[in-house]
Amino acid sequence: MDNKILITGSNASGKSTFARTLAVNAVLGQLFNTCLAKRYSFKPCAIYSSIKPCAIYSSMNLKDDIVTGDSFYMAEIKSLKRLLKIAESTEYAMIFMDEMFKGTNMIERIAAASIILQKFAALNCFICLATHDVELSRILGDRYENYHFREVITAEDILFDFTLREGVTTGSNAIKLLAYCHYDQEIVSQAEAYAEKYRASGEWKIL
């Protein structure tokens, strides 16, 4: 892998877990010279100090905050701004993210995320983003390496091999998971048909 990667894949396929595993191993490798892997090689981050043990950062598992009054989206904005400032510093940092701006609508999410990722791409840092938004992979394909996880969907089950592959995912299982969790088949069928109409026309039709 290079140092700018996007990982796509459907729900529960392993993309977020893989990003976290990379981050944990980076911490273990730099601090203890030990990794949970057969082989793990990476560029060391900022020099160890009591103030900053290692320059490895993440934006994952964010929450809204009733005390500060921050909505979930506001928490995302602040977290990503912090990471951008870190990446703009002279020290090499490793940054791991799980989705970007999922607290807002698709159009503004893709627009904002693509511009910020373009900024990250020009900086001397490691970036790993796990995302459902395959549009980002298409927009930033010349700046980021693309990897994905996939699944096999049968009539009875959804099976994952948790194998990382090159390229952008071509699958999606969000509606299939409704059937797997025993939603009424009419709901599943109508949702699939509705999604297919959007893919064909590029716009949502009134129900």
- pLDDT tens-digit readout, 85-112: 999 987 889 999 999 999 899 899 999 9
pLDDT of residue 6: 97
- Element holding 198 (H helix, E strand): helix 185-201
User: Cβ of 88: how many Cβ atoms within 10 Å?
Assistant: 14
Cα(190)–Cα(26) distance, rounded to whole angstroms? 45
pLDDT of residue 21: 94
pLDDT of residue 54: 62
pTM value? 0.86
Residues 82 and 108 reside in one and the same domain: yes
Q: What integer is the mean pLDDT of 133-161? A: 88
Residues 138 and 44 reside in one and the same domain: yes
Cα(137)–Cα(161) distance, rounded to whole angstroms? 22
pLDDT of 50 > 60? The answer is no
Q: Measuring CA to CA, how many Å separate 155 from each of 69, 175, 201?
A: 45, 13, 28
pLDDT of residue 198: 87
Please, are residues 4 and 121 in contact by the beta-carbon 8 Å criterion?
Answer: yes
Round the average pLDDT of the chain to a whole number and report it.
88
Q: Are strands 4-8 and 145-148 parallel, antiparallel or unpaired?
A: parallel
C-alpha radius of gyration, the chain, whole number: 19
Please, are residues 167 and 144 in contact by the beta-carbon 8 Å criterion?
Answer: no
Could you tell me the residue range of the domain that residue 190 belongs to?
173-207
What CATH code is carried by the domain that includes residue 63? 3.40.50.300
Residues 132 and 120 reside in one and the same domain: yes
Question: Using CA of residue 7, residue 100, residue 52, residue 27, what is the dihedral sign?
Answer: negative
Residues 66 and 167 reside in one and the same domain: yes
Residues 98 and 147 reside in one and the same domain: yes
pLDDT level of residue 156 (50, 70, 90 thresholds)? confident
Residues 142 and 179 reside in one and the same domain: no
- Select from 16, 40, 44 the least CA-distant residue to 126: 44
